[in-house]
Amino acid sequence: MTARTVVLGPLNRVEGDLEFRMVVEDGVIRDLHTEAVMFRGWEIILKDKDPWLPITVTPRACGICGISHIMCAVKAVDSASGNGLQGTDLPPQALLVRNIIAATESYMSGMRHHWLLFAPDLCNPRYADSPYYPEILARLAPLHGSSYRASVAWSKKAVEVTAIFAGQQPHPAAIVPGGVTTSPGLQDITKSLGIWRDVTEHFTENIVLRGSVERYLEIDSWEAFQKWMGEGEHEDGDLGLFVKFALHHGLDKIGRGLDRFLSWPCYEYPSGTYWNPGGLYHGAWKYDGTYEPPGSNLKAFQGRVTEDITHSYFEGTGAAHPWKGTTVPVQNVEPGVKHSWAKAPRFDGKPAEVGALARMLTRGDKLIRDMERKLGPSVFLRQFARIHELIISTPVIADWLRQVDPRGPFYVPTPRKVADGEYWGWHEAHRGALCHWVVYKDNKVVNYQIIAPTTWNVGPQDGADQYGAIASACMDCPADDLENPVEVFHALRSFDPCLVCTVHVVDRDRTISRFRLSP
């Protein structure tokens, strides 16, 4: 059988414009490259502008997790303005309110990703014979399913809390160097607690779990989870239904990916610890299950990031740290050795997967670590970890709300003058590790580089021909049905790819990455 080139696109339900080009032979994907088809030139716009401008401009790269961009941009300015590295010298209440604003938006994003972007694929006609199909359709059919609608209703309720502290969502302006602009009153706190209780009860407990969050939090292993499934109505909740469906249709065996996970420390506590400690995790499925925390030298940890341009349409070859990296487009944009407008982000020279699964594994979540060890990473585990994170963060956000003290302080007066030098700001967007790198000189932006989560996941090969996470995951998918390659879609969407966010990767010839999947 001869190889066939198949173009999948324009794709929908990924945030941003994306097309896939695959070479398929005998039902096996031999070659695949993703083409993001939109370029805006963010870094060019920021060059030579005032050092606070990225706080307004960078979140507009992405209307879904814009607050994650604000967090990164602000932390870089804080570091350069004498507010401590990443703003850690700021008053505890300022950090707390920032965390609430960011976490509630991320919560919304998780809900919308699973129910609006990922789950509609479970309604694919491929599954028409599934014993679960009628129930799947009733709940997850786009625009009409009961859970689809509930996720629209309750995700917008969740961001009402974001708005109470930040004024609006999307695109608030309340997070500034020095803290936040807001001075929440007691009534704001009580109102938020009321809203959060409603979200917890009506969505998390009644729809996702069909049981209590409290009981769910006791689960610490895959066996304990299965035991939980057998209790009461748990297996009929959206989580239970997804688990039954995914295992029945083998979603736990496709889209395994790299099994190497990266996450940035974020959601700072005044004690210098983090709700999400971040770090590097080598999965137990393929590696040895070792976790490396970022340690006390955070600068050294981020310093291990490089961007490889061997296969990218930029002058030069090899890899460099974002502060040192150059972005000089080549004149000849014919695909060859260089075939992508993306740089390939690497950590210690190797690719990594980022996202909710990476956060849960690096933070040592017992259930997710156990599942990764026993089942391996997969489309199923990636989605499971996303829902799991929503559930376990529900009481954390309520706790944070209870800790807000209207007396403040929420802000430290911060001069607009930044110190010359190289800075970075990191945070976890819902879809994974986000970091801004900036160089300031004479109170102006000299260089601004963003590595968005999707860049990590969708990036191309590097000089050592190592695949990125999405390419790797797609290798595990059959491609028998080219008219309806639902497995490839599952694998792609399980990463929650956000092309609008992949700010500097794209371009002219539209190829952002090209993966050679098998020799």
Partner 1 sequence: MSINVFWIQAQACSGNTMSLLNAEEPDLCQFIDEYGINLLFHPSLSPVWGPELVRLVDDLSSGRVPLDVLIVEGAVPDGPDGTGRFNTFAGRPMKEVIQKLAAVAGYTVAVGDCATHGGIPAMRPNPTGAMGLTYQNTKPGGLLGQHYRSRAGLPVINLPGCPAHPDWMLHTLMALAEGRADQIQLDQYNRPLMFYGVTTHTGCPNNEYYDHRIATREFTQKGCLFLRKGCHGPRTQSDCNLRLWNRQSSKTRVGSPCLGCTTIGWPDAVYSEQKPFYSQPFLTPMTEGYKVLPYLLQKFFGGLAAPSHLTERAKATSPALGTRRS
| CA 223 – CA 393 distance, rounded (Å) | 22
Given 50, 231, 348, 481, the residue binding partner 1 (CB under 8 A): 50
Tell me the closest approach of the beta carbon of residue 411 to partner 1, in angstroms: 4
Task: Identify residues 225-244 at the interface with partner 1 (CB under 8 A).
Answer: none
Report phi then psi at 354, rounded to 5. Answer: -125, 160
Tokens of 135: 């129930």
Q: How deeply is 458 buried, as exposed, middle or buried, from its count of CB atoms within 10 A (0-12, 13-18, 19+)?
A: buried
Segment near partner 1 (CB under 8 A), from 81-89, 206-214, 261-269, 459-467?
81-89
- Residue 194 makes contact with partner 1 by CB under 8 A: no
Q: Map residues 412-431 to x or -, x wherever contact with partner 1 holds by CB under 8 A.
A: xxx-x---------------
Name the segment binding partner 1 (CB under 8 A); options: 76-84, 207-215, 228-236, 305-313: 76-84
Q: Which residues contact 518 (CB under 8 A, 6 or more apart)?
A: 28, 29, 30, 475
The residue (of 40 and 299) whose beta carbon lies closer to partner 1 is 40
Using a 10 angstrom Cβ sphere, with 0-12 exposed, 13-18 middle and 19 or more buried, the burial of residue 508 is exposed
Site string for partner 1, 367-406 (x = CB under 8 A): ---------------------------------------x
Among residues 31, 133, 183, 298, which is the contact residue for partner 1, using CB under 8 A? 183
Binding flag, residue 137, partner 1 (CB under 8 A): no
Task: Give the residue with the Cβ less far from partner 1, 437 or 489.
Answer: 489
Euclidean distance between CA atoms 357 and 261, whole angstroms:
8
Q: Dihedral of CA 272/98/106/44: which sign?
A: negative
Least distance from C-beta 54 to partner 1, angstroms?
Answer: 11
Q: Phi and psi (nearest 5°) for 71? A: -60, -45
Q: Which of 519, 285, 279, 506 is nearest to 381 (CA)?
A: 285
* 40 touches partner 1 (CB under 8 A): yes
Please, are residues 264 and 435 in contact by the beta-carbon 8 Å criterion?
Answer: yes
Q: Using alpha carbons, select from 412, 378, 460 the residue that is nearest to residue 91.
A: 412
The SS3 call for residue 292 is strand
Query: What residues numbered 107-136 form the site for partner 1, per CB under 8 A?
Result: 112, 116-117, 120, 123
Find the shortest distance in angstroms from Cβ 382 to partner 1.
19
- Number of residues binding to partner 1, judged by CB under 8 A: 90
519: exposed, middle or buried (Cβ count in 10 Å: 0-12, 13-18, 19+)? exposed
Q: Segment contacting partner 1 (CB under 8 A): 2-10, 301-309, 365-373, 375-383?
A: 2-10
Nearest approach in angstroms of CB 367 to partner 1 is 30
Phi, psi of 369 (to 5 degrees): -60, -40
Residue 327: what residue type?
Answer: T
Min dist. Cβ of residue 465 to partner 1 (A): 28
178 counts as binding partner 1 under rule CB under 8 A = yes
Q: Is 224 in the site for partner 1 (CB under 8 A)?
A: no
Site residues for partner 1, window 479-508 (CB under 8 A)? 500, 507-508
Tell me the residue type at 435. C
Report 157-176 residues binding partner 1 (CB under 8 A).
159-160, 162-174, 176
Using rule CB under 8 A, residue 452 touches partner 1: no
Part in contact with partner 1 (CB under 8 A); list of ranges 52-60, 220-228, 361-369, 381-389: 52-60
149 lies in the binding site for partner 1 (CB under 8 A): yes
Q: How far is the CB of 59 from partner 1 (least distance, A)?
A: 8
Q: Order of strands, edge to edge, in the sheet holding 18-25? A: 4-8, 18-25, 28-36, 515-516
Residues 450/66, Cβ–Cβ less than 8 Å: no
Q: What are phi and psi of 285, to 5 degrees?
A: -65, -45
In whole angstroms, how close is the CB of 130 to partner 1 at the nearest point? 17
Q: Is 193 in the site for partner 1 (CB under 8 A)?
A: no
Cβ closest to partner 1, residue 5 vs residue 56: 56
16 binds partner 1 (CB under 8 A): yes
